[in-house]
Amino acid sequence: MSRFIVKRLLFLLATMLVVSVLLFALLEISPGSVATKVLGPYSSQEQRDLWLAAHGYFDPIWLRYGRWLGHMLQGDFGESIRFKVPVAQVLWPRLANTAVLGGLVLAIMVPLALGMGMLAGMREGSRLDRGISLVSIVTTSVPEFASSVFLAALFVFWLDWLPGTSTMAEGWHWNELVLPVGVLVLYDFGYVARITRASMVEVMLRPYIRTAVLKGLPYRRVIVRHALRNALIAPFTVIMLQINWLLSGVIVVEFFFAYKGFGSLLLEASLNQDLFLIEACTMVSVAVAVGTQTLADIGYVYLNPRIRFS
């Protein structure tokens, strides 16, 4: 078990390292374009050369990469071109805002999806099962930007119940979070519900469940004590992988509702060619994605006694 964890963590580090090399190759390989992005398209060649010399861009490439990686590891991502402040100063508050959004989404989506998947999978082919399956297939077919428009049209334009933007300009207003969270929950719960259902259906067909039913246990007890434990292993992995998808959804939703989070920051950085901010945002998002995948792998092994004890 511990050997497995060490192996996974090493793989995580290796992935991050390769990603950093790719990112460096994609964005930093040509000093000329770096200088143009930092100083703007109207800077003179002389200005660019001076800036490049001052920042060590004429050193050999491996030295530049080593220094770049070293700075990153210390949390020094450079200065944002657009915000004119150190990247870290913009990045962390935005990331905290997104953590609030993502945390809320998971807190609502996970119980909802597991509950619905369980109810559907308990009696395969029942009317409830087909109803839930249809709802989940419809909600996962509607992309986040479309459900944003639908929900905004309904709750902001026609009913006038909720604010249409979530800038949090006058402090934290919880009602500004309703629509962004709603959109993400709507899109993400269907997939988890379907996996839970499939896993539940499979468990319910096992002989030990039949035994439990036949020896006269109440149905509720069969489900809660016997079926759920095994049925929840697969959904756990999927929920962790879902965080990777959530990151994509967060970009769309934050953009639409003008929420000041990590997703909208990443998008702004890319649209403005804000080089060092792009690098930082990419590294953070890959770290989150690979980190949760590693957790999912480790958790899967830990939860599954057949693997844990072998």
The residue ranges that bind another protein (CB under 8 A) are 15, 18-19, 26-27, 137-138, 140-146, 149-150, 152-153, 156-158, 164, 244-245, 247-248, 251-252, 255-256, 266-267, 270-271, 273, 278, 281-282, 285-286, 288-290, 293
What's the min distance (Å) between Cβ of 53 and another protein? 25
Nearer to another protein, 25 or 107 (CB): 25
Residue 151 CB, nearest distance to another protein (Å)?
A: 10
Output phi, psi for 90, to 5 deg: -85, -40
In whole angstroms, give the CA distance from residue 260 to residue 257: 9
Residue 116 and residue 27: Cα distance in Å, rounded?
A: 45
106 contacts 118 by C-beta, under 8 angstroms: no
β partners of residue 79:
86
Nearer to another protein, 273 or 304 (CB): 273
Residues 235 and 302: their CA atoms lie apart, in Å, by 14
**Closest separation between CB of residue 301 and another protein, Å?**
18
Question: Phi first, then psi: what are they for 126, rounded to 5°?
Answer: -70, 170
Query: Which residue lies nearer to another protein by CB, 112 or 198?
Result: 198
Nearer to another protein, 192 or 223 (CB): 192
Torsion of CA 40, 42, 47, 48, to 10 degrees: 50
Query: Shortest distance, CB of residue 176 to another protein, whole angstroms?
Result: 14
Q: Report the Cα–Cα distance between both ends of the chain, in Å, rounded.
A: 10
Q: Which one, 116 or 254, has the nearer CB to another protein?
A: 254
The residue among 43 and 270 lying less far from another protein, judged by its C-beta, is 270
Return the residue matching tokens 């143009």.
Answer: 36
Q: How far is the CB of 62 from another protein (least distance, A)?
A: 21
Q: Which is nearer to another protein, 107 or 137 (CB)?
A: 137
Residue (26 or 63) nearer to another protein, CB: 26
Shortest approach of another protein to residue 186 CB, angstroms? Answer: 12
Q: Which two tokens stand for residue 132?
A: 């839930």
Query: Is the Cβ of residue 233 or residue 243 nearer to another protein in the bound state?
Result: 243
Q: How far is the CB of 144 from another protein (least distance, A)?
A: 8
User: In the 3-class helix/strand/coil scheme, how is 175-223 assigned residue by residue?
Assistant: HHCHHHHHHHHHHHHHHHHHHHHHHHHHHHCCHHHHHHHHCCCCHHHHH
Helices (runs of H) and strands (runs of E) counted in the chain: 15, 0
Q: Cα-Cα-Cα-Cα dihedral of 171, 177, 180, 183, to 10°?
A: 180
CA distances 110 to 99, 117, 151, 212, Å, are: 16, 10, 21, 27
Contact between 120 and 195 under an 8 Å Cβ cutoff? The reply is no
CB of 264 to another protein, least distance (A): 10
Rounded to 5°, the CA angle 260-262-267 comes to 90
Residue 153 CB, nearest distance to another protein (Å)?
Answer: 4
